[in-house]
A and B are shown apart, each in its own frame.
Chain A
Amino acid sequence: DVKVTQSSRYLVKRTGEKVFLECVQDMDHENMFWYRQDPGLGLRLIYFSYDVKMKEKGDIPEGYSVSREKKERFSLILESASTNQTSMYLCASSLMGRAYEQYFGPGTRLTVT
């Protein structure tokens, strides 16, 4: 079974802090994604990566950056956390040949106070 893990299930940070969310997948998937999920807004794509050191902006990249130094790991960085970044963050991965079939991690619920 594909396993996608995220570094924290719950995280509380203060406004202005730099926040790192880590995601690791164990199935050699080329594609990795970061979403945020808010009530009534579905899943919104922040960034995605289809190869090591490659990144593409999603629909809501403002206030975020990403890093992919290794194939299995995709990090989401909030340079200066703000209260409007309080959300559930979901990481996902997929194979290049079956890019539409995404496997999600358990999510990190981030609260910025």
Chain B
Amino acid sequence: GQQVMQIPQYQHVQEGEDFTTYCNSSTTLSNIQWYKQRPGGHPVFLIQLVKSGEVKKQKRLTFQFGEAKKNSSLHITATQTTDVGTYFCAVSANAGKSTFGDGTTLTVKP
């Protein structure tokens, strides 16, 4: 199946700073999803990207899919304490079988 690597594994930021997590693959991806898991919680679907070069925004979150469809990024502008958690990228295949990255855990210092 398709494999994805996420970097960094951990990121500590001061509240108000920006944050970016990257998802990379050695092969062309058909799609990519992003999930957020709050501490003690379960993953929650955020968005899916399917088109080359696609950019989508959700308030302070910006999601990008690379032109070659081999990488994706999630950028948070001006982080808040509510942004803490682990952000996962995933690739979906037939019947929704998804392969998840290892996640980036974000901590925000007030």
Contacts and interface: CB of A to CB of B under 8 A. Distances in A.
A48 B99 CA distance: 12
B52 interface: no
Contacts of B43: 43, 90, 92, 102, 104
Nearest to A95: B96
Given A40-B102, A42-B88, A42-B101, A106 B95 contact: no
A50 B102 contact: no
Contacts, number: 62
B95 A31 contact: yes
B103 A102 contact: no
Contacts of B33: 100-101
Contact of B95 (A56, A92, A107): A56
A92 B44 CA distance: 10
B98 interface: yes
A102 B42 contact: no
Contacts of B9: 40
A103 B35 CA distance: 10
Contacts of A44: 100
Interface of B: 1, 9, 31, 33, 41-45, 48, 88, 90, 92, 95-103
